Structure 1
Amino acid sequence: MKLSGTHWQWARRALTLAFFILIPTLLFMLLRNQDWGEVLHALVSYPPGVLLLGGAIAACSFVLFSCYDLLGRRYTGHQLPARQVVPLAFVCYAFNLNLSAWVGGVALRYRLYSRLGLDVPTISRLLGLGLVTNWLGYLLVAGSLFACGLPRLPAGMEIGTGGLRVIGVLMLLAAAAYLGACAFARRRSWQVRGQVLTLPGIRLALLQAVMGACNWLLMGLVIYTLLPDKAGYPSIVGVLMISSIAGVITHIPAGLGVLETVFITLLQGQYAKGTLLAALIAYRVLYFLLPLLVACVVYLLLERVASQGAGVPAPGPRDSAR
């Protein structure tokens, strides 16, 4: 029996609702006997230097992610200056992390870029390149770790370490296929739903790979900095990779509860729950809440500048996708 588009939409909504119920239930079961005094003690025991280092790494990650849109400028050929592009991308990334992709990654980006003079097709190509950069980096980092059998899965998980290795190899093949297409494909453009999709050149694609992978590694480094060195940095990043894709599947904004459930499930044998929770709370403050507060201020400034007519309309695109 073939499902219609309406049936698929209802199925996705039902699945999302199920995850909204399942994740809090699992988290409650994991934490029902938790001593929250232990968590508070771990939080107040953080040396200021550790928190500053974590904040600095988080800032580097946001700067790097904001530079994805500079790749997009090279790809589309628009001529907005970096001083306009980088703050805009930062605001969208912070809103995206906390309020879901449709608020920060899509709607807000269209609004802000259109006020600077870019047309919808150009903004769509910018958005598309940023998404590919992010997930290309994910494929490379997660694929490499999974193929090496990291993180070690607890006994009883159906997929097992062998299944994780297979998934890792498939992810690396997918990343290699994209890079190979950028290097050797003869046909460079396709039209999908009225939008022209163009493969970037191999130099730009390699920049995508390096920047995307480094950003995911920086995210993992923030959590690693906040935890005692027991599991090791590669394992911490591997768990982050699993929690990130779980957050995307569940459609829960900021992966709230998903991140905590995955980390506690996979690492509770190596860390006390209180230690894990303290690190994840600190991570959320450093990587989610503080950047969101800064982004709100920057967004108000961008809106004020736009309302005063300070935004300069962008000239038409020049040669792109190099």
Structure 2
Amino acid sequence: MKLTERPWWPWAKRAVGIAFMVLVVALLVKYARTVDWQEVRQSVQELPRSVLFQAGLLCAASHLLYSCFDLVGRRYTRHGLPVPQVMSVNFISYAFNLNFGSLVGGVAFRYRLYSRLGLDYATITRVLTLSMLTNWLGYLLLAGIVFTVAPLELPPNWKMDSHGLQLLGIALLAAALAYLLLCGWSKKRSWTIRGHELILPRPRMALLQLAISSANWMIMAAAVYILLQGKIAYPQVLSVLLIAAVAGVITHVPAGLGVLEAVFVALLSHKVPEGQLLGALLGYRALYYIGPLLAAALLYLAVEVKARRHAPIA
């Protein structure tokens, strides 16, 4: 009997996940008690308006670019929803995904909103899958290049050196290139996963996926770099952000709350005072997470109100 066929397995898997999340949260709370929050508050207050404005523009550009990810799915599935509607659904889903996790944002909101717009579940699943794939393909390519060519200079007291990151970078880069090769030369063009048929995109679409996703990750890192006011070289900021992104996914903490900050502090506090690092990251959270979430909530409310007004009367 397979593990997945045993009735206790899903519950055990869920219990382990919850226990791991509780442990992570407990460690983050313990760490938070050691932080000089007065220094952090002062660092936030000292951020120049010009810096906040530039970082805000970059955060807006990132959300705008990410809102185009579902347009790739639109071309891939050939559904006929207008571009503004697709981008609106993508923006709402992404903002809620960032703050509450993929099941709430990336999945639930897409199914609810797209189904109301007339898409069937199979089409929504293909759009969702391609969007998620686009995001992480760009990650693989960019992280592979950065870790291989310009590996992060790790803190002196770390036992691991940069060679480990270089090996990881080579593996990530190989994975991204393998996807391109599959899209270009694989004779088998489709697979069935959990009852859903997935068809390999053409090489041009695969290149577009890599390009827009890589650009998005770079813009996100640029926003953090601006908020740090050039105290850390951009390639290092990009490397740490990429590491923090995976750490947030592994820990399953909503919005990666505390995880992003902990990774930056662990890897860069030997170069920049902890208070300044946390001040910049809190500014980043406000601009990239909280601000777009408020905008997405208002947009979603408007969509719901419009849907109710046009709902047929029973």
Bin the TM-score by the shorter chain: over 0.9
Equivalent residue letter for 2:216: N
Shift in alpha-carbon separation, 1:131–1:163, aligned structure 2, 3 A: same
Q: How far off is 1:149 after superposition?
A: 4.6
> Which amino acid in the other structure matches residue 13 of structure 1?
A
CA contact (8 A) 1:27 1:260 kept: no
**Runs of 5+ unmatched residues, structure 2:** none
* 2:52 corresponds to 1:58: no
CA spacing shift, 1:8–1:173, aligned 2, 3 Å? farther
Aligned 1:1-322 pairs, distance under 5 A: 6-7=8-9, 10-11=12-13, 13-26=15-28, 28-29=30-31, 31-309=32-310
User: Contact (CA 8 Å) 2:138, 2:212: kept in 1 or not?
Assistant: yes
Alpha-carbon spacing, 1:160–1:9, altered in 2? closer, same or farther (3 Å): farther
Cα deviation, residue 22, structure 1: 3.4
**Which shifted more, 270-279 or 144-153?**
144-153
* Distance 1:3-1:155 versus aligned 2 partners, 3 A rule: farther
Is contact 1:65-1:90 (8 Å) kept? yes
Q: Distance between the aligned counterparts of 1:65 and 1:96, measured in 2?
A: 12
Corresponding letter in the other structure for 2:35: Q
Q: Deviations over 1:91-119 (max 9, x none)?
A: 00000000100001001100000000000
TM-score by length of 2: 0.93
- Unaligned segments of structure 1, at least 5 residues: 311-322
What is the DSSP-based 3-state SS (H/G/I as helix, E as strand, rest coil) of the residue aligned with 1:229?
coil
Distance of aligned partners of 1:76 and 1:252 in 2 relative to their CA distance in 1, 3 Å threshold: same
Between Structure 1 and Structure 2, how many residues are aligned?
A: 309
Listed one character per residue, the Cα deviations across residues 202-241 of structure 1 (whole Å, up to 9, x for unaligned) are: 1111000000101111111111110032320010010011
Partner of 2:198, secondary structure, is strand
Percent identity (aligned): 46
3-state secondary structure, aligned to 2:125: helix
**1-structure distance, mates of 2:99, 2:129:** 20
RMSD: 1.9
Q: CA deviation at 1:47?
A: 1.4
Deviation at 1:61, TM superposition (A): 0.3
CA distance in 1, matches of 2:271, 2:3: 45
Contact 2:221–2:237 (CA<8 Å) still a contact in 1? yes
- State the one-letter code of the partner of 2:20: A
Q: Residues of 2 paired with 1:135 and 1:254: CA distance? A: 17
For residues 236 and 247 of structure 2, what CA distance do their matches in structure 1 show? 17
The alignment partner of 1:62 has SS state of helix
Which one scores higher on RCO, CA 8 angstroms, separation ≥ 6? 1
Give, as a single letter, the amino acid of the residue that structure 2 aligns with 1:147. Answer: T
How far 1:3 sits from its partner (Å)? Answer: 5.2
Question: What is the Cα deviation at residue 38 of structure 1?
Answer: 1.7
Offset at residue 154 of structure 1 (A):
2.0
Q: Is the 2:225–2:232 contact (alpha carbons within 8 Å) kept by the matching residues of 1?
A: no
Deviation at 1:39, TM superposition (A): 1.4
Amino acid at match of 1:148: V
